[in-house]
Structure 1
Amino acid sequence: MTNKTADRDAIRHGKITEKPLRKLPAYPTWAIKLTMAITGLLFGLFVLVHMVGNLKLFMPMHDGQYAIDVYGEFLRTMGEPIFPRESILWIFRIVLLVSLVLHVYGAFALHGRASRSRGKFRRTNLIGGLNSFTTRTMIVTGLVLLLFIIFHILDLTLGVQPAASELFEHGAVHANMVASFSRWPVTIFYIVAMVVLFLHLSHGIFLAISDLGITGRRTRAVLLFISYLVPAIVMIGNIILPLSIAVGWVQ
């Protein structure tokens, strides 16, 4: 903060200063919040679509092929013959990777700025309940989800052991899921990660609503309901998948 009508005698005696209280950040806070809101909503849309696609695990076989294997091949061949094989899929992956980097950077940048602004003082008198819990644990739940994403890619995308099963085979989506989720420690980790995803995503969507400037009372009420409904659907759908395999309902 700069005092434009400074008292020169006061400045000379060190009572006030014309210097800013802190260095101007490279990126304004509003821009980082807007970026996090957009990337967070993008991730929310992705996990919803990803869950719906994975539910093809329960569909019957067609022409001797598992429905989820047909779906996986469709993702790899999107755009053919205009675009090369897997090119569209890689565009989606790159967009998600860039969004992830921006989202993680924004989270730590905002957390650091908030900590420096508060100094030794800490947030008090929060309302309490689930909303306050998710507010306090956004960094923690975000780190858990980051570890889950890394494990998930190593397990079912790249097939890197020991994250992946020894039976992993590229392109065999159904067989890979069955082999992976037949391991109870992996299934339990996925279930815990989905509960964490619900906590992080529900609060993240609500924050995005505010950061995007949506202020209408009825609109906010509807979007608040959606911010819990969508993550709950994603959580339940993604828990049913590994649990069904682990208990032997899907083989």
Structure 2
Amino acid sequence: MTVKNADRDAIAHGVITEKPLRERPSYPTWAIKLVMAITGLIFGLYVLVHMVGNLKIYMPDHNGVAAINEYGEFLRTVGAPIFPRESIVWILRIVLLVALVLHIHGAFTLSGRSRVSRGKFSRTDLVGGLNSFSSRTMLITGIILLLFVIFHLLDLTMGVSPAATDSFTHGEIYANMIASFSRWWVAIFYILAMVVLFLHLSHGIWLAVSDLGITGKRWRKILLVVAYLVPAIVMIGNIVMPLSIALGWLS
């Protein structure tokens, strides 16, 4: 905001300034929120599909090969022979990595701008209930999920100790999951991470609904249900697997 028709004498004596109250940011806030909404929905879709694929651990073996191992091989060979082995998987990984970087940058940028704009004034509990708690802890739950993703990749994708077990074998998804979740501390960590994912994803989807400009009452009611239903399905599906293995129901 600038002062129009300013008194030059007042300006000279330092009473009024023509300078903007705040510097214009390099990227507008609405654009960052839009990027965060899109990348957040990408992650939401990914964790849902990833959970469905992992549930193949409960399917019977096919010709002595675990169903989830066949699924893993399918992902590595999808698009063949037109595309080289694992090329599609790596394209997806690059897309997810770029989305992750943009999402993290947006989260810290918006948090910083909010803190500067609010100054010493802070309003809390404007929404109330679970939404208020999720809103206040979005940055914290996001950091926890980032640490979980790093551990998960080291544990069940890359097989790097001490996150992974000594028996880790590339391609043996079933055996790797059994070995990893047989460690109680790992199973508990995964379960707690899924609760955090529910809090972050549910509030994130609802924020995306607003940031994408969906204002119709009927659509907002439908998407409010989706914002809680989809994360709940993901949370339950991902908790059942480590819990089943830790309790010895799968071996």
TM-score interval (norm. to shorter): over 0.9
Query: Is it true that 1:226 corresponds to 2:205 in the alignment?
Result: no
Matched residue, 1:44: 44
CA contact (8 A) 2:194 2:239 kept: yes
Matched residue, 1:159: 159
Deviation sequence 1:20-55 (CA, Å, 0-9, x none): 112221111011000000000000000000000000
Structure 2: give runs of 5+ residues left out of the alignment: none
- Secondary structure in 2 aligned to 1:150? helix
- The alpha-carbon deviation at position 4 of structure 1 amounts to 3.2
Deviation sequence 1:202-226 (CA, Å, 0-9, x none): 0000000000000001100100110
- Written as runs of structure 1 = structure 2, the 5 A alignment for 1:187-202 is 187-202=187-202
Query: Is it true that 1:66 corresponds to 2:75 in the alignment?
Result: no
Q: Which amino acid aligns with 2:169?
A: E
Q: Distance in 1 between matches of 2:17 and 2:207?
A: 36
Q: Which amino acid aligns with 1:184?
A: W
Q: Distance in 2 between matches of 1:28 and 1:117?
A: 14
Structure 1: give runs of 5+ residues left out of the alignment: none
Q: Distance in 1 between matches of 2:65 and 2:119?
A: 60
- Secondary structure in 1 aligned to 2:4? coil
- Secondary structure in 2 aligned to 1:147? helix
Q: Distance in 2 between matches of 1:184 and 1:23?
A: 52
Q: Which amino acid aligns with 2:137?
A: T
Q: Distance in 1 between matches of 2:160 and 2:232?
A: 30
Q: Which amino acid aligns with 1:157?
A: T
Q: Distance in 2 between matches of 1:30 and 1:96?
A: 22
Q: Distance in 1 between matches of 2:146 and 2:20?
A: 36
Query: Is it true that 1:91 corresponds to 2:112 in the alignment?
Result: no
Deviation sequence 1:212-249 (CA, Å, 0-9, x none): 00000110010011000000000000000111111111
Q: Distance in 2 between matches of 1:125 and 1:99?
A: 30
Kindly report structure 1 stretches of 4+ aligned residues shifted beyond 4 Å.
none
Matched residue, 2:101: 101
Deviation sequence 1:74-117 (CA, Å, 0-9, x none): 00001100000000000000000000000000000000000000
Q: Distance in 2 between matches of 1:10 and 1:43?
A: 54
Deviation sequence 1:124-181 (CA, Å, 0-9, x none): 3523210000000000000000000000000000000000011100010000000100
Matched residue, 1:23: 23
Q: Distance in 1 between matches of 2:208 and 2:125?
A: 23
Matched pairs, number:
251
- Secondary structure in 2 aligned to 1:127? coil
Q: Which amino acid aligns with 2:139?
A: I
Q: Distance in 2 between matches of 1:99 and 1:5?
A: 46
Matched residue, 2:247: 247
TM-score normalised per structure 1: 0.98
Percent identity over the alignment?
73
Q: Which amino acid aligns with 1:206?
A: W
CA contact (8 A) 2:125 2:132 kept: no
- The alpha-carbon deviation at position 14 of structure 1 amounts to 1.8
Q: Distance in 2 between matches of 1:134 and 1:215?
A: 21
- The alpha-carbon deviation at position 15 of structure 1 amounts to 2.0
Q: Distance in 1 between matches of 2:195 and 2:213?
A: 28
- The alpha-carbon deviation at position 121 of structure 1 amounts to 1.1
Q: Distance in 2 between matches of 1:219 and 1:76?
A: 38
Q: Which amino acid aligns with 1:247?
A: L
User: Which range moved further: 109-118 or 119-128?
Assistant: 119-128
User: Which range moved further: 241-250 or 3-12?
Assistant: 3-12
